[in-house]
């Protein structure tokens, strides 16, 4: 015959059993939650791979900066695929945004992925849209694929081609000081690359006077930008020192 257990011990056993049950329930909840999260993460990653759209994800599900840059480069290359630079060699246009990326990331050591993506995309809206409707379509596509901040930077450095070239050049000088810091970085890199190109491989048919005028105008834009990034400004000054 089994002896009766003390009431205090029975109560203690009940407490232990209750605690174990609670721990088990908690573990099951965490497992279910983790499974749902893993499934969501997987879904978002697949969605980004197939559509390039990651703007609705969170920091745990966004692609890496390297993936974003690769996607931006691929997108820019596709958009500029039929365009050429104006030099005698008619270099593929995509060489230009790649040069901006090199100046920003390699020479100036800038690591902001939004700035680097915007540099690769900076001429897409301006040079690939044939009408206002296409400008809106490209803007929406850039925002969907790369986020609102990247689009904003791109739009800040995009000229309005509905006005004359002379007015566009004046507008760049007037608006330069109002650019966000990120847009100033892209603009500085753009002007640096263009000065280098004018020296080493200028647009076909540009006489010395026109090349000098471009240098002087680019310098006006950069002076209006003001102090934005010491290393980038130094790179621009080095390029400007080669004024023909």
Identify any residues that bridge with 92 across adjacent strands, giving them in sequence order: 84
203 SS3 class: strand
The Cα-based distances of 10 to 2, 6, 20, 21 in angstroms read: 14, 6, 15, 17
- CA distance linking residue 137 with residue 130, whole number of Å: 11
DSSP secondary structure of 21-89: HHHHHHHHHHHHHHHHHHHHHHHHHHHHHHH---TT--TTTSPPHHHHHHHHHHHHHHHTTT-B-SBTT
The verdict on whether 127 is a catalytic residue reads yes
How far apart are the two ends of the chain, measured CA to CA in Å?
Answer: 111
User: Which of 53, 107, 112, 126 is the catalytic position?
Assistant: 126
Given the residues 127, 155, 159, 220, the one annotated as active site: 127
| Residues assigned a catalytic role | 126-127
């Amino acid at each position: 015959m089994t002896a009766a257990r003390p009431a205090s011990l029975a109560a203690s056993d009940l407490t232990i059993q209750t605690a174990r049950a609670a721990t088990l329930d908690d573990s099951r909840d965490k497992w279910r939650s983790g499974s749902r999260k893993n499934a969501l993460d997987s879904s978002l990653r697949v969605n980004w791979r197939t559509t390039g759209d990651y703007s609705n994800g969170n920091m745990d599900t966004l692609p890496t900066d390297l993936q974003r840059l690769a996607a931006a480069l691929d997108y820019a290359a596709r958009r500029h695929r039929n365009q050429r630079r104006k030099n005698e060699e008619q270099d593929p246009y995509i060489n230009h945004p790649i040069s901006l990326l090199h100046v920003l990331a390699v020479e100036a050591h800038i690591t902001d992925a939004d700035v680097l993506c915007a540099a690769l995309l900076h001429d897409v809206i301006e040079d690939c849209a044939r009408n206002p409707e296409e400008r809106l379509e490209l803007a929406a596509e850039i925002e969907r694929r790369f986020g609102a901040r990247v689009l904003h930077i791109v739009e800040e450095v995009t000229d309005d081609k509905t006005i004359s070239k002379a007015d566009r050049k004046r507008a760049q000088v007037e608006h330069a000081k109002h650019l966000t810091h990120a847009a100033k970085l892209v603009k500085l890199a753009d002007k640096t690359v263009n000065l280098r190109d004018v020296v080493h491989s200028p647009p076909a048919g540009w006489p010395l006077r026109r090349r000098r005028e471009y240098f002087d105008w680019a310098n006006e834009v950069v002076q209006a930008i003001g102090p934005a990034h010491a290393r980038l400004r130094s790179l621009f000054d080095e390029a400007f020192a080669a004024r023909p």
